[in-house]
Amino acid sequence: MRKVLGAVAGIVALAAILFFMLAPGMVERSMNVVAPLPLPISPRAAALHARLQVADMHADSLLWNRDLLTESRQGQVDVPRLLKGNVALQVFSSVTKTPKRQNYDSNPANSDTITALAIAQLQPPRTWGSLLQRSLWHASKLDRFAAASNGRLRVIRSAAQFDRLLADRVEGAKVVGAMLSIEGLQDLEGQLSNLDVLHGAGFRMAGLAHFFDNDVAGSMHGERKAGLTPLGRQVVRRMEALGMIVDIAHSSHATIADVLALARRPVVASHGGVQATCRINRNLTDAEIRGVARTGGVVGIGYWDGAICSTQPDAAAAAIAHVRDLVGVDHVGLGSDFDGAVTTAFDSAHVAAITQALLDRGFSGAEIGKVMGGNVLRVIRAGIVPNKPA
């Protein structure tokens, strides 16, 4: 009997080891998919892209248990691929909670799939029950990647670090900047003071809501889809004071209206699309695009079907062209949502596909420079400077 029990225990232990080793990677491979299309890049587009300072406002790569310093066939972002894609700045988001059976239309707030992922990835137990600790863990992961990168990856927390990054790249340095964002401020756990904790950990942008309503704001995908709560109004004001950029991606129409009325600094929609070219509920109306532009902000266009109703680079270029034609080229940029459980036609090494698509649509080189990074870099550089002593 002891031998039998010992054998059973061994099998259970082996199964547990295999689960913790294999399950997280299997989950990611099923969710972050590159389904490549033929993407011919002309010599003109390649030469132009090599001169750009490319910036992307949203990737969820920190959610996954993958070494971002090693080039991988898994997922859509890592440092070697960012360098191949000539990306100057990648914003990395902290995803702390997603509902079961997640959808774009209506999700309750009473379930979560990230807890199981945190346990399967053997994250510290403090992250298993605290959304705040999950974000702080993501921040520490990014810091560790930067420390081990031999200077290839720099975490950007200040205007001085931002300026140094771009100056070094102009001098030929092979380096990419990384900035922390948050996908839904449910990680405040109802406490305004936790915003300062997150800012102290390096977060410089935050979306107010994700796929469900929270105690800060209503989500486009929530049950009530209400606007800012009283706490949410305090949060927006405190973010502007600290030097954290307000992101309305995933926010309900009511929340967007409240934010645009309240904002005194540029607002971004970090990743998504526009109703005019892809009529999906999470995308912005023309009135909302005009509102973002009035703040001096930027609309980030993604590359997956939920943003542009396609994965073709030309569909992204069509959405970009609509924003340009509506409010001017200064108010549109890139927001890939790479590694955010999306299927795309290319990864971060091949964002020149967007440069090519914009050239094909007749954009000038100067316009492409703004779209591919100039606009996002301008807003981030201004937005991370505190509005007043914090």
Task: Say how many C-beta atoms besides its own lie within 10 A of residue 285's C-beta.
Answer: 13
Closest listed residue to residue 306, CA positions, set 332, 336, 266: 336
Global confidence as pTM: 0.92
pLDDT confidence band for 35 (50 / 70 / 90): confident
Handedness of CA 280, 282, 288, 290 (dihedral sign): negative
Domains and CATH numbers, the chain: 46-383 (3.20.20.140)
Summarised one tens digit per residue, pLDDT across range 246-271 is 999 999 999 999 999 999 999 999 99
pLDDT confidence band for 273 (50 / 70 / 90): very high
322: Cα separation from own chain's centroid: 22
Q: Apex CA 116: angle with CA 20 and CA 225, to 5°?
A: 150
Whether the per-residue pLDDT at 19 is higher than 50: the answer is no
Whether the per-residue pLDDT at 21 is higher than 50: the answer is no
Summarised one tens digit per residue, pLDDT across range 215-224 is 999 999 999 9
Summarised one tens digit per residue, pLDDT across range 146-168 is 999 999 999 999 999 999 999 99
Whether the per-residue pLDDT at 201 is higher than 50: the answer is yes
Averaged pLDDT for residues 159-188 = 98
What DSSP element (H or E) covers 177? strand 176-182
Contact 291, 255 (CB under 8 A): no
Summarised one tens digit per residue, pLDDT across range 70-100 is 999 899 999 999 999 999 999 999 999 999 9
Q: What mean pLDDT value characterizes the chain?
A: 93
